[in-house]
Amino acid sequence: MRFLPLIVVLLLSVGCQHKPFLMRGGMTMNGDMRMNGDMNMNGDMDMSGDMSMSMKTDNTASRLASVLVTGHPNAGQKVAVVDVDGLLLNQNISGLGSMGENPVALFREKINAIAADASVGAVVLRINSPGGGVNASDLMAHEVTQLKRKRNLPVVACLMGTGTGGGYYLATHADTIISHPTSVVGGIGVILNVYDMENTMGQFNITAQHIKAGDKIDAGSPERVVEEDEREMLQNIADSFQKRFIDQVKLARGDIQTEVEVFDGSVFTGVQAQQLNLVDQVGYLDEAIDRARELCGAAPDGPVVMLRRDNDRAYTTLDVSPNDPLGMSLLPINIPGLDRSAMPTFLYLWQADPSLAAVIQ
């Protein structure tokens, strides 16, 4: 019997008309296959038939599921950590390494899942965002308000690296705001990116020939200079959105009495933000989770969950969904009319990076 392995190898290498191995049907392999040592095969090996392979190109096909990331699973009420990262836009964010999801739609899906889960006792908004569209930021803030109204759940906002513009606007709808000491906080302002490319287009003999009804219907177009009355019209809109932002901050934080101007778009460190009463506490994400546990009466080792799709990682509360856009050109230009879904929009955004304008445009 000790020569049997040698005989099998010889038959495989030289062939045998009696076919010592005959396989019909399918072969299924589950789990991992490990091979140690050397394996040598001499001769020809032929394979016939069809081989098919399926690959999921994005995560949008699967529904969100609650994934335990820390704490004891049977220790009572859960704290749900909702990650809010990157630009807040009501449009799909596509690019390399991105799921191409709409941040507003994804946020609503997560909030709806939390509202339907009676075992969730509190929510932590983990925010790392420079902001985004005025409308997108307001829609997300409205979802938080509705969740608190329906479930009366305590909500704690934790500002990570950046909590400015719409990111901070969203945080003001939480019951408590905790900021990292090294966070950048504030950016309470509005911006509309408008560019004058009339001369640039003229250098290439490109002229716009619009057919329009209404003199101001193309106000803000990069193809011509913005007229003074058009600028006033757009400025009035920006001012009204700014007032809405300021009113929300005062409602959430009280009247901020300080010699430092905080409503001009300025940004501050987390420590400075606490001194200005823009946040309640300087701390880290773990402290925000502990605070959420306290507010809902959960156990100190209570379960902490995140909402994830099938193949989206969530091993720690710091994991981020791959939904960041592909790096854009530093020149924030878009050819007018080619993408009507990416027209200029009013933004609650700390726009320190010029490439952000290219993503939005």
How many CA within 13 A on the CB side of residue 57? 4
Provide CB contacts within 8 A for 314, sequence distance 6+. Answer: 67, 69, 306, 308
Domain 65-360 bears CATH identifier 2.60.40.10: no
Cross-strand bridge partners of residue 79: 122, 304
* Residue 218's pLDDT band (cuts 50, 70, 90): confident
pLDDT 10s digits, 262-317: 999 999 999 999 999 999 999 999 999 999 999 999 999 999 999 998 877 778 88
- CA–CA distance, 329 with 306 (Å, rounded to integer): 33
Q: Which of these ranges, 27-31, 40-44, 148-152, has the smallest mean pLDDT?
A: 27-31
Which among 65, 81, 52 is positioned nearest to 178, based on CA atoms? 81
- Whether the per-residue pLDDT at 51 is higher than 90: the answer is no
Which among 174, 177, 193, 194 is positioned nearest to 185, based on CA atoms? 177
pLDDT, residue 54, reads: 55
pTM of the model: 0.76
- CA–CA distance, 132 with 164 (Å, rounded to integer): 9
pLDDT 10s digits, 72-91: 988 889 999 999 999 999 88
Residue-level length of the chain: 361
- Whether the per-residue pLDDT at 71 is higher than 50: the answer is yes
Question: Do residues 192 and 170 touch, judged by C-beta distance below 8 A?
Answer: no
pLDDT, residue 327, reads: 43
pLDDT 10s digits, 150-190: 999 999 999 999 999 999 999 999 999 999 999 999 999 99
Token digits of residue 196: 């004058």
Provide CB contacts within 8 A for 105, sequence distance 6+. Answer: 90
- Whether the per-residue pLDDT at 53 is higher than 70: the answer is no
Token digits of residue 28: 């299924």
- Whether the per-residue pLDDT at 101 is higher than 90: the answer is no
State the SS3 of the chain: CCCHHHHHHHHHHHCCCCCCCCCCCCCCCCCCCCCCCCCCCCCCCCCCCCCCCCCCCCCCCCCCEEEEEECCCCCCCEEEEEEEECCECCCCCCCCCCCCCCHHHHHHHHHHHHHHCCCEEEEEEEEEECEEEHHHHHHHHHHHHHHHHHHCCCEEEEEEEEEECHHHHHHCCCCEEEECCCCEEECCCCECCCCCCHHHHHHCCCCCCCCCCCCCCCCCCCCCCCCHHHHHHHHHHHHHHHHHHHHHHHHHHCCCCCCCCCCCCCEEEHHHHHHCCCCCEECCHHHHHHHHHHHHCCCCCCCEEEEECCCCCCCCCCCCCCCCCCCCCCCCCCCCCCCHHHCCCCEEECCCCCHHHHHHC
Give whichever of 59-73, 138-152, 334-348 has the largest mean pLDDT: 138-152
Q: Regarding predicted confidence, which is higher, 291 or 211?
A: 291
Which among 310, 234, 272, 255 is positioned nearest to 57, based on CA atoms? 310
Token digits of residue 232: 């006033």
Token digits of residue 342: 């990416």
User: Could you tell me the residue ranges of all domains in the chain?
Assistant: 65-360
As a whole number, mean pLDDT of residues 6-25 equals 50
Which among 54, 49, 57 is positioned nearest to 27, based on CA atoms? 49
Q: Regarding predicted confidence, which is higher, 274 or 214?
A: 274
Provide CB contacts within 8 A for 48, sequence distance 6+. Answer: none
pLDDT, residue 331, reads: 36
As a whole number, mean pLDDT of residues 128-142 equals 96
